[in-house]
Amino acid sequence: MAKQNLRLSEFELEGKFLGFFRNKSGKLKYLRLMITAGDVKIKLPKKLRNAASLYLVPGEEISIRGISKRKINKNHSKVKLKAKFIKSANFFPKQHIEEHSKAKILICQKPRCIKSGGKDLVSKLEKTLCQQGLQDQVIIKRSGCLKRCSKAPNCVLEMSAKKSSNNQPVHPKKIISLLEKYVSS
């Protein structure tokens, strides 16, 4: 069996939007971009497909940022491009289409964490999120054991692929400051 290596890197491409590729059932999967080197096929995440189909017009200049996955085999290599950010200068110069998943706050619901202030933590977080206007961008999710029972109540903040966890009782203001940095970026 051949050995494979996988390399991830970020990319940014600018070019002329040519149109979309659809799968057999007619759903948008990829977009075509004409760059100086030729045509490029870029995968669209589900969260971007609807917005891209509404706003992008064939022939306009666009800029795309995303992740490239390169599989390197003994005999050949293959590169796959996946968009994370699309910007169209002609159609809407101050706006852009971006995949921006919601942040999650996981809160342990085991009896020890609930007795140690887990219920109060949930209510404080909900109240603080509403005051800061972040309730649409954050999901508070009750979870199972987070494996730090001695530090109850436990809370883990997940922001897209990054995970930030605390080893001390959570202060809602600390979480809010982290979330504001995440949302503004």
Of the three residues 68, 98, 128, the one that is the final residue of a domain is 98
Q: Say whether both 80 and 133 belong to one domain.
A: no
Q: Name the phi and psi angles at 96, rounded to 5.
A: -150, 160
Residue 123 amino acid letter: S
User: What confidence tens digit (pLDDT) does each residue in 37-84 have?
Assistant: 889 999 998 888 888 888 888 888 999 999 888 887 777 778 889 998
Rounded to an integer, what distance in angstroms lies between the CA atom of residue 50 and that of residue 74?
38
Of the three residues 51, 81, 98, the one that is the final residue of a domain is 98
What's the token pair of residue 128?
Answer: 């603080």
Q: Say whether both 38 and 92 belong to one domain.
A: yes
What share of the chain has pLDDT > 70, as a percent? 75
pLDDT at 41: 92
Q: Which of 22-26, 71-75, 147-151 has the highest mean pLDDT?
A: 22-26
Confidence of residue 34 (pLDDT cuts 50, 70, 90): very high
Q: Say whether both 19 and 52 belong to one domain.
A: yes
What strands lie across the sheet with 138-143, from one edge to the other?
A: 138-143, 103-108, 155-159, 162-165
Q: Say whether both 93 and 110 belong to one domain.
A: no
14, 61 Cβ separation under 8 angstroms: yes
Q: Are strands 97-98 and 103-108 parallel, antiparallel or unpaired?
A: unpaired
Rounded to an integer, what distance in angstroms lies between the CA atom of residue 8 and that of residue 70?
6
Helix (H, G, I), strand (E, B) or coil at 18: strand
pLDDT at 42: 93
User: What confidence tens digit (pLDDT) does each residue in 155-167 have?
Assistant: 777 765 544 444 3
Q: Say whether both 32 and 81 belong to one domain.
A: yes
Q: Say whether both 81 and 21 belong to one domain.
A: yes
Q: Say whether both 50 and 135 belong to one domain.
A: no
How many domains is the chain built from? 2
Per the structure, the complete domain to which residue 46 belongs is given by 5-98
CATH code for the domain of 77: 2.40.50.140
Residues 6+ apart with CB under 8 A from 124: 172
Of the three residues 98, 129, 156, the one that is the final residue of a domain is 98
Which residue is it, tokens 């992740």?
A: 67
CATH code for the domain of 150: 3.40.30.10
Q: Say whether both 93 and 10 belong to one domain.
A: yes
